[in-house]
Amino acid sequence: MKQADLIWMNGELVAWDDAKVHVLTHALHYGTGVFEGVRAYDTPRGTGIFRHADHLDRLFRSAGMYLMEIPFTRDELRAATHDLIARNGLKSCYIRPLVYRGAGPMGLFPLDCPVDVVIAVWEWGAYLGDEGKQRGVRGKVSSFRRISSDAVIPAAKATGQYLNSVLAKIEASKAGYEEAILLDDRGLVCEGSGENLFVVKDGAIATPGFSSDILGGINRASVMQIARDLGYAVVERDVARGELYLADEIFMTGTAAELTPLREVDDRPVGTGEPGEVTRTLQREFEDALHGRSERYAEWLDLVASPAPAT
Ligand code: PPE
């Protein structure tokens, strides 16, 4: 991992190596945190943070669902992120805001523990590899089902909930696949360990909806909009596991993964075994939007002012 110089912690900029927490941090024991994954791109108009306001909104919503009050405003976190990117001298980066229950009384009841907030930024390349983005990756349906709203709050991006993704990822990876596909508790397709999933059949695009306990991906919404703007039919609906083997094309979306095609599922080629026409078209348009090459989606980028001179 490529380190940056500074991390923002509760309003202060601290050196990367000094950004530490107490071992009795509540979130370390019980997973009581919420976070975001955001990316900033080097665009012709300067560094642009993709759908920053939407990510901050989701962070506040996730915190709210776990009854955590964030002791900063959206504007303060937005400004802190801009400052952090500039002070680290980064043109493009991954951004990880994290809100968590800090050190306080032990035990499950969390509401008397402080709410701490950190933001880290670092350079992060293609999540599933550059080759994966080009040629597609191999996916495997996981034996671990996606967490359901019977037990937690899948719509929240909460740290503890990621044990589910971690188990699926380890299983897929040890079996020799790049990514896991999790089914929901009904046995229907839900999403990847850190991505939403789309299937394309006869030119129509489908993606599981909130009844499948998905995380409402910001890239999912962006790609759905791009697809509709291009005239494709996109439906949110239940997707049966068997459709994975019938699809002409399958791709996944996420901040880290961006738009990554699947070239195989469970050792069966998806379509021709190469990313198809719809996937390619959407990937190209989406990459243009991310990298600030698209006039139409220009307002999706929150531009960062150039670095302030060092003081
Ligand atoms: N589902 C899950 C479970 C998920 O973690 C992500 C993002 C998505 C869907 C897509 O959401 P969005 O990024 O808003 O389009 N996963 C983040 C964490 C990845 C990680 O390894 O950490 C990410 O992509 O930043």
Q: What is the mean pLDDT of residues 289-297?
A: 98
pTM > 0.75 = yes
Catalytic residues: 157
Q: How far is the CA of 177 from the centre of ligand 1 (A)?
A: 18
DSSP string over 160-228: GGHHHHHHHHHHHHHTT-SEEEEE-TTSBEEEESSSEEEEEETTEEEE--GGGT----HHHHHHHHHHH
Nearest to 218 by CA among 191, 253, 194, 190: 253
Q: How far is the CA of 151 from the centre of ligand 1 (A)?
A: 20
Q: What is the mean pLDDT of residues 185-207?
A: 98
Please give the angle made by the CA atoms of 240, 244 and 246, to the nearest 5 degrees.
100
Q: Indicate which residue's Cα is closest to atom 8 of ligand 1.
A: 195
pLDDT in tens, 3-31: 999 999 999 999 999 999 999 999 999 99
Calpha distance 258→200 (Å, rounded): 17
Q: What is the mean pLDDT of residues 191-216?
A: 97
Calpha distance 118→278 (Å, rounded): 39
CATH fold of 6-122: D-amino Acid Aminotransferase; Chain A, domain 1 (3.30.470)
Cβ proximity of 233 and 198 under 8 Å? no
* pLDDT band of 305, cuts 50, 70, 90: confident
pLDDT in tens, 127-152: 888 899 999 999 999 999 999 999 99
**Domain ranges, ordered by start, for the chain:** 6-122, 130-290
The answer to whether domain 130-290 has CATH 1.10.287.180 is no
Q: For ligand 1, which residues put their CB under 6 angstroms from it? A: 37, 165, 191, 194-196, 215, 217-220, 253-256
pLDDT at res. 310:
53
**CB-based burial, 144-158: b 16+ in 10 Å, e otherwise:** bbbbeeeebebbbbb
pLDDT in tens, 100-121: 999 999 999 999 999 999 999 9
Calpha distance 45→308 (Å, rounded): 17
pLDDT in tens, 147-194: 999 999 999 999 999 999 999 999 999 999 999 999 999 999 999 999
* pLDDT band of 311, cuts 50, 70, 90: low
- Report which ligand 1 atom has the smallest distance to the Cα of 96: 25
For residue 93, the surrounding DSSP H or E stretch is strand 93-101
Q: Indicate which residue's Cα is closest to atom 7 of ligand 1.
A: 194
- Report which ligand 1 atom has the smallest distance to the Cα of 196: 9
